[in-house]
Amino acid sequence: MKIIFKKRVLRTISVLLIGFVVLFLFRFIYGYSTGLSEVREENFSDFFSSLEEVKRNYASDKYRFKVESSGQSNQGQAQEFDVNQKYEKTATIKSKSSKFDDDEKKLRDHIKSENGIIQYEENSGQRGSRSLHLLIGIPPAKFDSSYADLLKIGTIRSKEITKIDKTNEFKNLNAKKASLEITRQSLLEIKKQSGRIEEYINLQNRILEIEQELQGLGVLLGDFDAENEFCTIRFSLHEGRDIKVSTLHRIKVAFEWSVQYYLLFVAIAATASIFAFFFLLIIDKLIPGIITKINQ
């Protein structure tokens, strides 16, 4: 009897150890395959999202498209339309560098070679933990090649490109400008007529308000001019050393994780077994009574 009991104990311990080893190997292999750093998790915040009054760049793209005519008289003929699209194209790059000075020089040399413009710049931090944030205006024709070259600077942590159509916004600004110019011209015609001094002052104030609105629209529309056409690259360069995780540290992390979750799994399994035992015991006591009542 004692031999059978010992065999059962050894078999149970072996099953538990195999389960723990399988969980440990899974966590250890997962750490290597994902390349995650258990020492420090890096989180580069989106610096430019907190800046509201930064320069916005717009570009234009002219293309022609055809539309098949649905009318009976023009059936089979295609109508061509010329479209002048206005758009905002922005790339966001976050990079980490262990050679901050060299990579900063590469970045500035690249901007100069691409005839780019630094529209916003911020340097922060002490040596060893410095950060450089640049808002760069790049000619639309060189955007793709410039973006590809900038991805070679430092170790890229995140990258993103967004393109937003601004054609309707451009048309609305022009329509509003035209409406204000018509209103101003009408008020100037009324101003030539005689009237009371109070009406003249109110009319003059209204003309000044329209002039101010036209100036504001002129600034907004100026961003759409061909001479100001750029695409935007937002580049954040952070200084830091590449942390290499040792095998010993990975074993330590995998062991701690395995112990934590394996004990949790065993506790849940033991609790479920206890509840199942009492549940079956209760059923076993109740079933004979239920069968007796049914037979009666």
Helix (H) or strand (E) holding 2: helix 2-34
| pLDDT band per the 50, 70, 90 thresholds, residue 39 | very low
| pLDDT band per the 50, 70, 90 thresholds, residue 40 | very low
Could you tell me which residue, 186 or 199, shows the higher pLDDT? 186
What pLDDT, on the 0 to 100 scale, is given for residue 149?
A: 93
What pLDDT, on the 0 to 100 scale, is given for residue 143?
A: 93
Q: Are strands 78-97 and 231-239 parallel, antiparallel or unpaired?
A: parallel
What pLDDT, on the 0 to 100 scale, is given for residue 107?
A: 94
Residues 203 and 86 in one domain: no
Instruction: Note whether residue 189 is domain-resident.
Output: yes
Instruction: Note whether residue 39 is domain-resident.
Output: no
Rounded distance between C-alpha atoms, residue 63 and residue 82, angstroms: 6
Rounded distance between C-alpha atoms, residue 84 and residue 63, angstroms: 7
Percentage, residues of the chain above pLDDT 70: 80
Tell me the torsion sign for CA atoms 282, 285, 288, 293. Answer: negative
CB 137 within 8 A of CB 56: no
Residues 58 and 146 in one domain: yes
Instruction: Note whether residue 26 is domain-resident.
Output: yes
pLDDT in tens, 181-190: 888 888 877 7
Rounded distance between C-alpha atoms, residue 148 and residue 150, angstroms: 6
262 burial type by CB count under 10 A (0-12 exposed, 13-18 middle, 19+ buried): middle
- For the chain, the farthest-separated pair of C-alpha atoms sits apart, in whole angstroms, at 124
Range of the domain at 12: 2-34+245-291
Residues 120 and 147 in one domain: yes
Instruction: Note whether residue 296 is domain-resident.
Output: no
| pLDDT band per the 50, 70, 90 thresholds, residue 285 | confident
| pLDDT band per the 50, 70, 90 thresholds, residue 38 | very low
Instruction: Note whether residue 110 is domain-resident.
Output: yes
Could you tell me which residue, 42 or 65, shows the higher pLDDT? 65
Number of domains observed in the structure of the chain: 3
Could you tell me which residue, 190 or 139, shows the higher pLDDT? 139
Instruction: Note whether residue 43 is domain-resident.
Output: no
- The pair of structure tokens assigned to 157 is 């942590």
| R_g of the chain computed on alpha carbons | 36
What pLDDT, on the 0 to 100 scale, is given for residue 53?
A: 66
Residues 148 and 206 in one domain: no
Residues 99 and 210 in one domain: no
Residues 138 and 71 in one domain: yes
Helix (H) or strand (E) holding 110: helix 100-113
pLDDT in tens, 122-134: 998 888 888 999 9
User: In the predicted model, what is the mean pLDDT of residues 35-63?
Assistant: 64
Rounded distance between C-alpha atoms, residue 105 and residue 44, angstroms: 22
Task: Round the average pLDDT of the chain to a whole number and report it.
Answer: 80
Backbone conformation region of residue 100, classed left if phi is above 0, alpha if psi is from -120 to 50, else beta: alpha
Instruction: Note whether residue 44 is domain-resident.
Output: no
Count the helix, strand and coil residues of the chain and give each as a percent rounded to the nearest 5.
55, 20, 20
Residues 87 and 6 in one domain: no
| pLDDT band per the 50, 70, 90 thresholds, residue 290 | low
Phi then psi for 3, rounded to 5 degrees?
Answer: -65, -40
Phi then psi for 33, rounded to 5 degrees?
Answer: -70, -35
Residues 184 and 147 in one domain: no
Residues 57 and 138 in one domain: yes
255, pLDDT greater than 80:
yes
Residues 153 and 76 in one domain: yes
Residues 17 and 105 in one domain: no
Amino acid at 163: K
pLDDT in tens, 15-36: 778 888 888 888 888 777 765 5
Instruction: Note whether residue 42 is domain-resident.
Output: no
Give the closest residue to 207 by CA, choosing from 190, 192, 188: 188
Residues 140 and 58 in one domain: yes
